[in-house]
Structures are given as structure tokens and as C-alpha cells.
Chain A
């Protein structure tokens, strides 16, 4: 199994508070991704990173920011959490630029915003 961990695994927070989710990998893969999973929508890309300090927006990036200061860590921040950001968040990693490279996923973080 790919070495990907996410912390915390579960979090309940109040509307308006900042939240940071952490993804940590031990595979030295170049690419890291943050997705959210909601019923009826599958997985939607929030942000991704293609190297240290190199990030780009995905389909649903509004309200989220990311940072990657080290190869192994990719942080997702909700600056001011809203109830619409209640979701399951997955981190994924991938190596290489070829379309042949699959993604490996972390275990997920269940976030509830009350």
C-alpha cells in the first residue's frame, strides 16, 4: 500500500472557524491532490500540486487554499468553514507526468461543519 496518511481523520468544527487538513506521503511522489467526495458528485478536485510550492486550482477551489512546503506534505485550509464544506476529503498522490500513472488515495477525512 502507498504510504499516505491524512490527519485528522474526523473533525467537527463550527461555521466561520479556520480548518487545516494535512496529507503526508512517504512515497516521494511529485503530484499531490485534494478531492472532496459528496453523494451524487463522485470525487471533485479542489487543488493539486505538481511540486514544492507549485500548486494549481481544481474544479471546486473556492473557499479553499493549499500549501506545499515539503515534498511529503500537502495542506488544505478552509479559511472560514461553511456548512457547504461538510464532506469527506481525500488526498491522493501520483508519480510522473504520463497518463499511465494512477493515483493512490489516503484514507480520507470526514469533516462536519455545524
Chain B
């Protein structure tokens, strides 16, 4: 069965500091993709970053990086130099070959950036 686990319901970080949001996944597939989305209070879902299971290097997109540890089945999101606008819900998701075209989402982490 495919499963995404986000164990941090809420996180706080000081402005300009870095923060790590945890995500672990469970799949028996060899080919899968891992995604992070941001949902601000306005409600829209914004795609942030992608990591493929065969990618040897960690993905980076601006201030976002994905700490991918395949053996541990973890795909943590690192946000560097936090800004007030980073306050939002963050969702980890997975898409695997054997799940057809389905995506599986975690329950999310609420991040609050403190001035």
C-alpha cells in the first residue's frame, strides 16, 4: 500500500532561519515521484518541488530543497532563509508507477514564520 506520513502537525520558525518539514513514504515500487505543495491561507495549492526515485542528487528550487534519503524512505523539505510569506500548510505527495495515475498526500504540516 502507498502511504505518506507527515508527523509534524505544526511548526514554528524564526524569520530568516532554515526549517525542515518531515515526510516519510511507504511504497514497494522502484519508480516513484515525490512532490511538495504549499497551501497558503488563501487556499490554492502551489507546486514547489519534485524528486524522482532514480535521481541521485537532491532537488533544489530556489530556497526550497528536498533532502531525499531513499533507504530511509524520507523526503524532507528544507526551506532556507524563511520569510513571513512562507507561513502556510505544506503537503508531501507521492506518485508511483504501480498506483497507476494516483497521487497520495500526507496530512500536512502547518508552518508559522515568526518575525
Number of A-B contacts (CB under 8 A): 62
22 pairs, CB–CB < 8 Å, chain A vs chain B: A40-B107, A41-B107, A42-B105, A42-B106, A43-B93, A43-B105, A45-B103, A50-B100, A92-B45, A94-B101, A97-B101, A99-B31, A99-B33, A99-B52, A99-B53, A99-B95, A102-B33, A102-B50, A103-B103, A104-B47, A107-B44, A108-B43
Contact A45 B32 (CB under 8 A): no
Chain B residues near A74 (CB-CB < 8 A)? none
A103 near B47 with CB under 8 A, answer yes
Q: Which residues of A contact B31 (CB under 8 A)?
A: 99
Interface residues on B, range: 20 to 34
Assess whether A31 is in contact with B101, with CB atoms less than 8 Å apart. Answer: yes
- Interface residues of chain A, those whose CB is within 8 Å of chain B, are 31, 33, 35, 40-45, 48, 50, 56, 58, 88, 90, 92, 94, 97-105, 107-108
**Residues A99 and B97 in contact in the complex (CB < 8 Å), given A104-B47, A108-B44:** yes
**Residue contact A33 to B45, C-beta cutoff 8 Å:** no
Chain B interface (Cβ < 8 Å from any Cβ of A): 6, 31-33, 35, 37, 43-45, 47, 50, 52-53, 91, 93, 95-97, 100-108
Contacts of B45 in A (CB 8 A): 90, 92, 105, 108
Interchain CB contact (< 8 A) of B35 among A48, A97, A98, A102:
A102
- Evaluate contact between A99 and B105: CB separation under 8 angstroms: no
